[in-house]
Structure 1
C-alpha cells in the first residue's frame, strides 16, 4: 500500500470514528469499530482507478510515470 493510500485510509477511518463516536466508551470499543471499518473499506477497494480524484492522485500518477511504473 502506498503512503497516499494509507493516508486516505486513515482519513476515512477517522471519519468513521467521528460518525460512531457515541459508541466509543473505551479502548476495546475503538478496536471493535476499527474491525468493523476495515472489511467495509476493503470491500470498496477496486483495481487501480484510471481517473484521478484529486491532486494527490495526479501527483502519484506523475511519479509512477517518471519511474516507469505505468
Structure 2
C-alpha cells in the first residue's frame, strides 16, 4: 500500500491526521495496525473509545506515545 511504503505520502497524511480513535484492539488486523502506527507517528494522539482494557496492549506497542486515553 502506498501509505505504508511511500515516505512522502505517509508524511502528508501524518500531518493531516490529528488523532486516531479506535474501538477495540482485538478487532484490528496487522495491516490496520501498521497504518495506525505510521499515522500516529507525527502527532502521537491515540484514543481508545471502546474497551478500556485494550489500552494496555496498545501502550506496549506504542511506547513512544506520551498518552493513550
TM range (shorter): under 0.3
Higher relative contact order (CA 8 A, sep 6+): 2
Instruction: With the length of structure 1 as denominator, give the TM-score of the two structures.
Output: 0.25
- Structure number with the higher strand fraction is 2
- Structure number with the higher helix fraction is 1
